[in-house]
Structure 1
Amino acid sequence: MITKRLLAATVITATLLFGGCTAAPTADFGPAEFGRYVTPLDDLALPAAVDGARLVGMGEATHGNTEFLAAKQAVFAELATEHGYRVFAIEGDFGGAAAVNAYVRDGSGSAQEAVSAIGFPIYRTRELVAQVEWIRDFNTRAKAGDKISFYGVDFQRYDRNKDGLASNLSALDPGFAKEAEEALAPLTDAKFRGLDDEQQRSAAAAARTVLDTLVAREQRYAETDRAAYDLARQYATIIWQGAEWRASGADSNLRDAFMADNVGWVLDREPGRRAFLSGHNGHVLTTPYTFTPTGALLRQRLGDDYYAIGTDVVNSTFTMAGVRGSSQASISNGAAKEWARLFGEKEPGFVDFASASADPAVAAFLREPRAMTNVGNEVVPGFQFLPFTYTITLAPAESYDALVFVADATPTTLLPPS
């Protein structure tokens, strides 16, 4: 009871102090002027900038809305069919995403099984299944060298990565494969939250030793099988990243730096092929805020070869899913109502900021800081009434190259328990 009263008092106090403090600049022009630069998602035309880019990253204001996944599907379908993009990378487990790649390229398993393998409960949705099935269908009609590949760039699971390491390392050095298996035994999906600080540091050190050994033996192993070595090394890297990140106390800077490295690995593995990166807004944007996100690091490394698309929403009822179960929450970002006015009848729609900035008034508006919706997996109960807790204030055209806007977003549909 005391806890509930304290939470209620905190919410009321914060509402009084900060409730009106979200940045919401208004434009001195209307939808007629702004609409010249907007294309509806159902008639999408992407700018020439994507043809010059190596990587397009697209965010989502929440992880649990149908409309954002539909928008990503619309953008990726256009990139794949009209602009030659052949790599799909997701903010999901590397080892789990390998199961998706096997399905979309070879038909192994089912789309539901493949999506479930990614490891994050929030991805176990009918919407992502539909996207994976679209990629699979595309590949059935594509030539052997023109199929889409699917990768994960996150590292928060162990089991499938350990399986991938064992499979590739056994072909190179069965003895060391056994040693690595024993060294990495404490790192499992079932127990990754159960290690104390000392155990976590010890496990991270063991994972680093396995990785360092692989690096030291590169010449020897690569002479036997370069492809197996490259995959074994990346699986070992992913395992170490997960252990090191947890040993750090889940440091956000470290996580996003590791994901940027993994995106780089994917691009190196797919030379000459353009890639699409699907993640949260907070990971794909190109400017630092409370930490340095993956997108900011990619912009430093790739320059204009990285094109970032953000998303925003006024009203969202979204799915929250985690290891403890699932539920729904609703939020409303009043600052996004100006987008709704400007997009008008072209909502949901897409706007390229460079094109829109040809109009000086629009350019100035897009560089004004404003509160944009920024929810990860969940909103703390009671805080859905505090917009400053689920928005981030930034200048859209400084943090993204484009925006997809949705006025009202509905929750994703989770797959039934397997």
Structure 2
Amino acid sequence: MVILKKILKWFGLILLSILTLLALADALWVFGPQLMAERKISDLNNYAQGVSKLDIPDKTKIIALGEASHGNVEFQELKLAVLQTLVEKEGVKSFALEMDFGEGLLIDDYIRKGQGNLDDIVESLDFTIYRTDQIKKLIEWMKDYNSDKDESQQLSFYGFDMQNPSNGIQPILTYCKNQKIDLSDDDKNTLNLLKQALNQLSDSDRTALIQVLHDIQTKILSDQMTRQAQLISQEINCIFKGLDYYQDYMTDYVSMNNFRDRCMAENVAWIQELEKSRGHEAIMIAGHNGHVALKGINYKTMGQHLEEKFSDQYFVIGTDYFHTKVNINTIGQDIGRGNHSFNSADPLAAQAKNYGGFYYLDFASVDKEGQTSDLISEPMSMGSLGEGYSFLMHLLPNSHRIKQIPKDLYHAMIFVYKANPIHPYSEK
């Protein structure tokens, strides 16, 4: 009995020692890289600039701004700061956001025609991340800018996503009413099927919905193609893509993202062509780093598609944080959102504390030799947070830190030292 107790005692001590070593190893894994990242970069002063100093190559047609997380105030504010700079310095007259195309139509009608109520529009948006004061401020600035401009010089707002087409119903119905395109009550009821979960539509409902949309599009295409007619026709195309997305591409993560990013790239290219017809070739788009980047890890990004089509006329600016407290959706049904803290261990983002909290770095301006050049040319830790949170992420830093070569992903980056959480109005 005494021997057994001694064995159990030693076994307990050994187990405790192993657990302690594992805890220390995990702490080093999580916190070691971020401590190392704060070392000073000797030649960064030669290249760090304010955001207002950004200079885009003259031939650029699409300027993309990424965000390392959706749920931070600073990345939403950067959308407006960069847009203002591009409008002033580059003659950009449009902004396209990672939201559904139909939602973009509602905002465009507001900023160009004063139609609708901004609070109602923002609170109707499907993505919680856009129901914020920062997005309202961006929209209001665009509306104020347009107030004394001729139609040809007004700013336009677009969405380039196709996941949530329910907000496209109202623009379609309004257009049909204004153009005296007759829709029966059955047609209108069929359109309202878009408010249901599209992956749960019956085959008969899906067929009926496609037929009604085809009929409307045929009538639109037979008329003179005004800008509004083109927008409504494209919204119908986006709905078709959304229906395919939920029926054919939801089986696995890779196929789902490959299809979605290809569709978003096609929408961006369509928007650029429409703006070109208005005399404004350069457009600004904004979305997650994982979509705008020049390459992805598990799927072909929107940015890859756009670079293939536009080559060096596509210019992408990534972003990163060093510290963040992010508002993010917890994985699991009906759990809701919360604020959680992370660190990217990004050595370039760590330096933002020396530049008032953020700075812009154009990779083309960096000499081929030096510490900054080495960092952007080799695999480096960077933050990446989407819309899914689990407590395990704090134990597994690779779940929210990507290690890739910055120059392979972006042409430039904006670094934020400390990012704060958004405060969404409500959850739908």
Select which of 372, 388, 397 maps to 1:387: 397
Does the CA contact (< 8 Å) of 2:30 and 2:395 recur in 1? no
Q: Distance in 1 between matches of 2:381 and 2:206?
A: 38
In 2, the alpha carbon distance for the partners of 1:160 and 1:403 equals: 33
Determine if the alignment matches structure 1 residue 330 to structure 2 residue 330: no
The residue number in structure 2 matching 1:307 is 315
**Aligned pair 1:116/2:113, yes or no?**
no
Q: Are 1:84 and 2:83 counterparts?
A: no
Distance 1:167 1:246 in 2: 26
Paired letter, 1:226: M
Aligned to 2:258: 253
Q: CA RMSD in A?
A: 3.4
Q: How does 1:149-164 map to 2 (within 5 A)?
A: 149-164=156-171
The alpha-carbon deviation at position 392 of structure 1 amounts to 2.1
Q: Secondary structure at 2:144's aligned position in 1?
A: helix
How many residue pairs get aligned? The number is 394
Aligned-residue identity in percent: 25
Go from structure 1 to structure 2 and tell me whether the alpha carbon gap of 1:353 and 1:104 turns closer, same or farther (over 3 Å shift): same
Name the larger-Rg structure.
2
Distance change (3 Å), C-alpha of 1:25 and 1:234: farther
Indicate conservation of the 8 Å contact 1:372/1:393, yes or no. yes
- Does the CA-based 8 Å contact 1:103-1:109 persist in structure 2? yes
For 1:5, the equivalent position in structure 2 comes to none
Instruction: Quote the residue 1:263 is aligned against.
Output: 268
The aligned runs of 1:185-334 (5 Å cut-off) are 185-188=192-195, 191-192=196-197, 195-196=199-200, 199=201, 208-209=210-211, 217=218, 221-227=220-226, 229-247=229-247, 248-249=249-250, 251-271=256-276, 272-273=279-280, 274-320=282-328, 324=334, 325-334=336-345
Q: CA deviation at 1:345?
A: 2.9
Note if contact 1:122-1:377 (Cα within 8 Å) is conserved in structure 2: no
Decide whether aligned partners of structure 1 residues 134 and 213 sit closer, same or farther in structure 2, where only a CA change above 3 A counts.
Answer: same
Q: CA deviation at 1:117?
A: 3.5
Are the counterparts in 1 of residues 26 and 395 from structure 2 also a CA contact under 8 Å?
A: no
- Say which of 344, 355, 367 aligns to 1:345: 355
Alpha-carbon contact 1:18-1:388 (below 8 Å) kept: no
3-state secondary structure, aligned to 1:127: helix
Matched residue type, 1:300: E
Partner of 1:6: none
| TM-score normalised by the chain length of structure 2 | 0.81
Structure 2 regions of 5+ residues with no counterpart? 1-18
Cα deviations across residues 68-112 of structure 1 (Å, max 9, x unaligned)? 112222211111112211100000021112121122122223433
Moved more, 235-244 or 360-369: 360-369
**Cα pair distance change 1:206/1:307, threshold 3 Å:** farther
Contact 2:317 / 2:410 at 8 angstroms: preserved in 1? yes
Is the 8 Å Cα contact of residues 97 and 114 (structure 1) preserved in structure 2?
no
- Over 3 Å counting, the alpha-carbon distance change for 1:300 and 1:174 in structure 2 is same
CA–CA separation in structure 2 for the residues paired with 1:302 and 1:206: 37
SS in 2 for 1:226: coil
Task: Flag the 1:407–1:289 CA change in 2: closer, same or farther, 3 A.
Answer: same
| Kept in 1: contact 2:42–2:371 (CA 8 A) | no
Tell whether the 8 Å contact from 1:59 to 1:311 is kept in structure 2 after alignment.
yes
Give the distance between the partners of 1:379 and 1:400, measured in 2 at CA: 26
- Is 2:53 the counterpart of 1:45? yes
